[in-house]
Amino acid sequence: MLWELVGRFVVKNALFLATPSQTALALAKLWNEGALQHHSWVSAQEFLLGFVLAVVLGIPIGLVTASWRRPAAMLNPWIAGLYATPVIALAPLFILWFGIGIWSKVAVVASLVLFPVIINTDAGVRNADRQLIEAVRSFGATKLQLFTKVSLPAALPFILAGLRLGVGRGLIGVVVGELFGARAGLGFMITQAAEVFNMPQLFAGVVVLAAAGIVLTAAFQALERHLVPWNFE
Amino acid sequence: MKLRIGGLTKAFGDLTVLENIDLAVAGGEFVSLVGPSGCGKTTLLRIVAGLEASDRGEIQIDGRRVTRPGIDRGFVFQADALLPWRTVLGNALIGLEVNGARGAEARSRTQALLRLVGLAGFEAYYPRQLSGGMRQRVNLARALAVDPEVLLMDEPFSALDAQTREIMQTELTRIWSSGSKTVLFITHQIDEAVYLSDRVVVLSRRPGRISEIVPVTLARPRALSIKRSAEFTACVERIWRLIEDDVRRSVLDEFA
């Protein structure tokens, strides 16, 4: 409501703000043209591939750094350094390496999602309560059993929280990656709209991204409820 | 002798915690360890459990030397230390599972145990849904599930309120008398030790040494009302006198 009112009566110039009704119209138009579906699908692929890649690499790396001292000593400075690096600054480099197609964006997404996943997995395994480990050890459990039956389940809520953090960073990665060079995708659509001051279309792109963020976060919360019921019931 | 502790000595750095502990416990006997805080009771129990190595001396069960954890011993921890992601039944099964027994028989036996400790109907609950007393029952059932010959209990009721503790004491006596378990029980509460035990081992302050072993001659089964009998209070009094000075000193130490 506020947005619509501000858009209609305060910032009347359509160059600066599009109202919800204009945004909705733009969404409908883009949908009818098929452009919305096309751009969303490209971005979705980039996001999913990058995200899955980061998870497939990140969880094992985090498990290793939490379990063994030597790999941890080797990898941790790198992880800390790269986590703090604005990977976004490397996006043009990725475009140069992997081309203008989806793989450069996949790389940007993966590099942004990877570090929170590693860090959370590592923290989760380390967080396992020593008393719980002792309790299971008192039955003569092996190191592997202690890992699978105590450390890993104890880490699960942390790992899932890492994935949820990754969602936001991954969406940023998609848009920023496309900004630096792409032929399609929501970020590309937004950039195009901005260049010709087509505010309704720009807002349409933003709305779709925000909706994706909400849906994905909700999906991960549902997954958490399913996988870690002991924290909820 | 079921359990034999011989010449056990343990130091952490320069601090000698246990010095030359000798103790023999007969099969089916209930023995408590009391002493001021810092006398090494818990360390002693952890060494018997194989969770900690001794510097000198050894632990034997049925004449076999033990140095590592095993299911011939069951440990009941002070904090209940239940796995929050496992249900009551899942927690009680962990010891069997770790040792490769996960069939229907293991399940039905564990379920029977949960009934024995008064948890029938709670098998599918998660630990955080239970009260402290119930969690401690799961803790006990988990240790009993592997059918250990020796039960090692480290102040299992210390976190419970006074009433729940009394109930748990009678429950433990009932469970103990229905099986043939040898129990080594640590407590801060002398009346608890006297109520439960056949013998009470009194440890002195750092380094922990056995200063006296007090036999409890009260007839069994013991009703709770026995705690008000003259014989009972005399026994508590006797043990209290043995550790009074040590306790005073360790309290002063803590404030110093």
Q: How far apart are CA A198 and CA A193, in angstroms?
A: 5
d(CA B87, CA B126): 4
Same domain, B134 and B88: yes
User: Both B158 and B225 in a single domain?
Assistant: yes
The structural domain count of chain B equals 2
Q: Which of B110, B129, B147 is the last residue of a domain?
A: B147
Chain A contact for B185 (CB, 8 A cutoff): no
Mutation target vs A (from B46, B73, B83, B151; most A CBs, 10 A cutoff) = B83
| Last residue of one domain, picked from the residues B91, B116, B147 | B147
Per DSSP, B228 falls in state G
Confidence of residue A82 (pLDDT cuts 50, 70, 90): confident
Task: Give the separation between CA B165 and CA B169, rounded to whole angstroms.
Answer: 6
Taking an 8 Å cut-off on Cβ atoms, the answer to whether B99 and A139 are in contact is yes
Contact of B68 with chain A, judged by CB distance below 8 Å, is answered with yes
**How confident is residue A15, by pLDDT bands cut at 50, 70 and 90?**
low
Range of the domain at B236: 3-72+149-255
pLDDT: is A74 or A15 the higher one?
A74
Whether ipTM tops 0.90, in short, is no
Residue in chain B closest to A153 (alpha carbons) equals B85
- Mean pLDDT across the stretch A107-114? 92
Regarding whether B38 and B160 lie in a shared domain, the answer is yes
pLDDT for the residue numbered A11 = 66
Count of A-B CB contacts under 8 Å: 63
| B143 and B156 inside one domain | no
- DSSP at B16: E
- What is the model's pTM? 0.79
Examine the domain organization and report whether B104 and B45 are in the same domain.
no
pLDDT (average), residues A177-205:
87
User: Is B51 in Cβ contact with A131 (below 8 Å)?
Assistant: no
Statement: residue A117 has pLDDT above 80: yes
Would you call B83 and A150 a contact, using CB atoms and an 8 Å cutoff?
yes
Residues from chain A that touch B74, judged by Cβ atoms under 8 A, are 138
Q: Which CATH architecture has domain A31-231?
A: Orthogonal Bundle (1.10)
Going by pLDDT thresholds of 50, 70 and 90, the confidence category of residue A84 is confident
In this structure, chain A runs to a length of 233
A212 versus A72: which is more confidently predicted?
A: A212
Do residue B156 and residue B230 come from a single domain?
yes
Q: Are residues B166 and B120 in the same domain?
A: no
Enumerate residue ranges in chain B where pLDDT < 70: 256
Cα B89 from Cα B130, distance rounded (Å): 13
Contact check, Cβ <8 Å, B98/A135? no
Q: What is the pLDDT of residues A126-174, one digit of tens each?
A: 988 888 999 999 998 889 999 999 999 999 999 999 998 899 899 999 9
Residues of A whose CB is below 8 A from B71: 139-140
Question: Using CB atoms within 10 A of its CB, is residue B254 exposed (0-12), middle (13-18) or buried (19+)?
Answer: exposed
Domain boundaries of chain A, sorted by first residue: 31-231
Contact A230 B128 (CB under 8 A): yes
Same domain, B138 and B218: no
* B141/B211 same-domain check: no
Is B12 in the same domain as B139? no
Chain B residues closer than 8 Å to A141 by CB: 69, 98
Residue B78 falls inside a structural domain: no
Evaluate if residue A14 carries a pLDDT over 70: no
CB contact under 8 A, B126 and A140: no
Helix, strand, coil tally for chain B in percent (to 5):
40, 25, 35
CB contact under 8 A, B98 and A149: yes
